[in-house]
Structure 1
Amino acid sequence: MRVLKNAGRGLAAGCFVLAGSGSALAGAWDTLGIGSSELLFAPEEFVAESSFTYVDRNVDYDITTASTAFGPVTGDASSRATPNIWNYQGALKLALTENADCLARVNNPYSIEEEMDPNWNGRFSGYETRAVTFAFDATCSYKFQVGEGQYLRAIAGARALDLTYFSEGLTATSPSNIVVAKVDLKSKGLDVGWRAGLAYEMPAYALRASLIYDSEIHVDLEGDTEAVGVTTFDSFASLTLPQSVEFNVQSGIAPNWLASFGVKWVDWSVIDKLSVTNAAGSKTVDRKLNFQDGWTVKAGIGHRINEQFSVGSSLQWDRGVGGSYSDTYTIGLGGSFAASKNVKFTLGTAAIYKTAGSGDMTNDVSSISAVTEYDYDPSWAYAINTKLRVSF
């Protein structure tokens, strides 16, 4: 039993294996994926952790339809649509008492970045889109003993985030008068959601099962729309960021070996369209998204080689939610090095296969009736993650 306990203690923090998708590291806008709250269960009294992930993405959009009221659009029929991106997280875990633990962190839980060549055929529906969040969240748990060597944790927390949205494309009043159109919106303030969950633990076997629910967050945005050199007007939008449920289980399976399995459901179907209105309440953007619910499934295994080195690997499938977010399959590999009793470095890598799909960027209230539809072929993305952990 003690062998498994020691294995679980070392591997739970040490065997980071990276999981991902074509957008970032999970389904649709989600950058956190499965297991993002694992630090709450760290056995140390104090842990500070920072991580950065770089994703090399390689998706090209191939135009199938591109037209305006003035006729078909000419230009580049294909464009790289996915710039390489960074994601980050910083977190602190503190044991308040023998049974009470709290986790606080900052991160960018949702992110979308698309940037096509301004000469591509879909430029009248847009060639750049950015939606970026900055979030704080705090989660606490209280542990009850429910049997010999068995514990139940009650988990509760809150999330607050800020969202900014920017898009850029072309519009026209005539075939000869073409101007750049920009939409620039930001949350009116921090928007808040909540978290609740339960976890069952048997430390002697490095066994833990957890179920965590995150609520929806409703976001109101305001800013302006600009047709460069022509007009600028106030603009508004509302968006509901989805609720989610995540289940994770891990267990020691042999001396110094740990296996894990996780499933995450995200209610992406709550986002059925993107609408922007002016001060009079008239829609200036009305783009159908028609997302379906997201499902992510991940399995991993880790091995502690000795007191300093641990390694791990994972497999992940993520169901695409529609449009530019198709199914992805991920192979992750990682390893950690304990430089001392209190300092640990982790390096993870992943290869992410994104399946083929199609999307529609058409704005149903476009003043020039711009229509843009595209396909994309299967592609590979590659990610690397670094993490620094200091504990006492």
Structure 2
Amino acid sequence: MQVTRKIIAAAAVLAAAQSTTALAGGFQRGTADTDILFEPGTVNMRAGMTYVDPQRGFTSINGQSGDFGDYTGDYTIPTYSISLGNDTVGCAGTATESFAAESDYSGSPGGALPAQVSSLSTGQPVGTTTAARTDIFGATTASVSRTQALSFSSSELGVTCRLSYAAESGRYSLLGGVFVEDFHFEGTSLGTTYAAPGFPLAAVNTRVEVESDGGYKAGFRIGAAYEIPEYALRVQVMYRSEVKHDDVEGDGTVTVLNSLVPTLPAGTVLPVNSFLSEATSPQFVELKAQTGIAPGWLLLGSFRWTDWSTNDMSVSSISNAAFGINSSSYAPYHWRDGYTATLGLGHAFNDEISGAVVLGYDRGVSTGAETTYTDIYTLAGGVSFKANKMAELRFGGLVGYWTDGSQSVSQGAYFDGTVGDDFVYGVNASLKLSF
């Protein structure tokens, strides 16, 4: 049985699957479009954009219940790719936003998350244990901070090549390439400096705003694929290496909001240096498979393991020796590894139009220290319009159900919190040109 219209059906399934991929647990965003290496044609170019609206907010913070609004920010994921090759060899250049997150906690009680210890009167760095961070009235506690907003992003640029061998049993391909990834961080917090260590009288209240960058770091991907083109069958496995960003630094400002110190009146702005502890883009392995099951019908599935357990915590620090500023804020994760699975079905209605639906499941990586990334169940759909041999438009949409969850001090968080059942929505569109 030869499966006709296999390429069109595969395109529609891909459009739906791209929406699902954008919701993988942790800080995963886009993945390099290496599938373009298997597209027919000597030269292929594809540009796409995915929009995701994750609606997640706390239902209680330290026992206080309420509607504090969504702290997760909506985001867009651009993807670009261009490939050049033939049936034997091909290479593709890709670009995407690989990892990112954005949170705004200004809707929380008091306009920020609960307080944590940010500096000690001894001059020693604050520890990263829960006990150290929650001892806000301790004898050596000099100041506390409250996180108001956080965001970071990583852009990836890469080149991946395919070397294929055609035999009677099918086509075998080796895949490999390199990429570089940068890192950008921004944070805002509210700070309070005590009049005396351990004495919770506010001598100075401040707003801290920082921005830090890490240079491009290299990584690699390697994989293999097996195809029987006449049946639209392809099985592909790809490994992406982790990338560690250990040089994230920049600058920022400390703005005095109100003060009991005559030399630091309200409105004073002090410059600071900013630093972020090591950030890791985790390694992952993804298995993707598709096969024709009847004329014009395509079945597709995927499974991805991501090493999210390498993300244990992050510490954002500021310093200004001239004014004795040396403080930090702490974000615990203690994530477990993530698993994402999808199953899709595509159908070609005619030579120009095909559609698909994809079911997805992402096992949440939260373990109780941070409660954002719980289990997600998704339903996505996609459609492909191929007007001629050169141009193809793809559109996809997704709705996801986000399960409830909680975090607690006993599990490594520095405050207790709960989130309810939430929803997430996404749409994407792409244009491919072939020559």
TM-score, length of structure 2 as denominator length: 0.79
How far, CA to CA, are the matches of 1:158 and 1:109 in structure 2? Answer: 14
Deviation larger for 234-243 or 322-331 = 234-243
Aligned partner of 1:232 among 232, 254, 271: 271
How far, CA to CA, are the matches of 2:6 and 2:51 in structure 1? Answer: 28
CA RMSD in angstroms comes to 2.7
Match of 2:129 in 1: none
The SS at the match of 1:81 is: coil
Q: How does 1:1-392 map to 2 (within 5 A)?
A: 1=1, 3-4=2-3, 6-15=4-13, 16-18=15-17, 24-32=22-30, 36-65=33-62, 78-95=68-85, 97-117=86-106, 120-121=109-110, 122-123=112-113, 124=115, 125-145=146-166, 147-174=167-194, 175=202, 177-187=204-214, 189-219=215-245, 220-228=247-255, 229=268, 231-236=270-275, 237-277=277-317, 284-322=328-366, 323=370, 324-359=372-407, 371-392=414-435
Q: Which AA in structure 2 matches 1:32?
A: G
Deviation larger for 223-232 or 53-62 = 223-232
Report the CA distance between 1:261 and its aligned residue: 1.0
Q: Is the 8 A contact 1:312 1:333 kept in 2?
A: yes
How far, CA to CA, are the matches of 1:39 and 1:361 in structure 2? Answer: 46
The SS at the match of 2:55 is: coil
Aligned length: 371
Q: Is the 8 A contact 1:130 1:165 kept in 2?
A: yes
Match of 1:70 in 2: none
Report the CA distance between 1:166 and its aligned residue: 0.9
Report the CA distance between 1:152 and its aligned residue: 1.0
The SS at the match of 1:79 is: coil
Report the CA distance between 1:360 and its aligned residue: 6.6
Deviations 1:19-46 (A, max 9, x none): 557x95212111136x943222112221
The SS at the match of 1:17 is: helix
Q: Is the 8 A contact 2:254 2:272 kept in 1?
A: no
Q: Is the 8 A contact 2:19 2:428 kept in 1?
A: no
Match of 2:262 in 1: none
Report the CA distance between 1:76 and its aligned residue: 7.3
The SS at the match of 2:193 is: strand
How far, CA to CA, are the matches of 2:80 and 2:310 in structure 1? Answer: 29
Q: Which AA in structure 1 matches 2:382?
A: G
Highest Rg: 1 or 2? Answer: 2
What is the percent sequence identity of the aligned residues?
Answer: 27
Report the CA distance between 1:318 and its aligned residue: 0.3
How far, CA to CA, are the matches of 1:152 and 1:87 in structure 2? Answer: 31
Deviations 1:161-190 (A, max 9, x none): 111011112111243632112232111x21
How far, CA to CA, are the matches of 1:18 and 1:359 in structure 2? Answer: 31
The SS at the match of 2:278 is: strand
The SS at the match of 2:11 is: helix
Q: Is the 8 A contact 1:75 1:120 kept in 2?
A: no
- Shift of the 169–277 alpha-carbon distance from structure 1 to 2, 3 Å rule, reads closer
How far, CA to CA, are the matches of 1:171 and 1:285 in structure 2? Answer: 10
Deviation larger for 311-320 or 97-106 = 97-106
How far, CA to CA, are the matches of 1:190 and 1:149 in structure 2? Answer: 42
Q: Which runs of 5+ in 2 are unaligned?
A: 116-145, 195-201, 256-267
How far, CA to CA, are the matches of 1:254 and 1:7 in structure 2? Answer: 10
Report the CA distance between 1:160 and its aligned residue: 0.7
Deviations 1:38-85 (A, max 9, x none): 22211222111111111222211234228xxxxxxx997623212222
Match of 2:261 in 1: none
- Shift of the 224–118 alpha-carbon distance from structure 1 to 2, 3 Å rule, reads farther
Q: Which AA in structure 1 matches 2:403?
A: T
The SS at the match of 1:108 is: strand
Q: Is the 8 A contact 1:19 1:25 kept in 2?
A: no
The SS at the match of 1:80 is: coil
Q: Is the 8 A contact 1:18 1:349 kept in 2?
A: no
Q: Which runs of 5+ in 1 are unaligned?
A: 67-73, 365-369
Report the CA distance between 1:254 and its aligned residue: 0.4
Q: Which AA in structure 2 matches 1:316?
A: G
TM-score, length of structure 1 as denominator length: 0.87
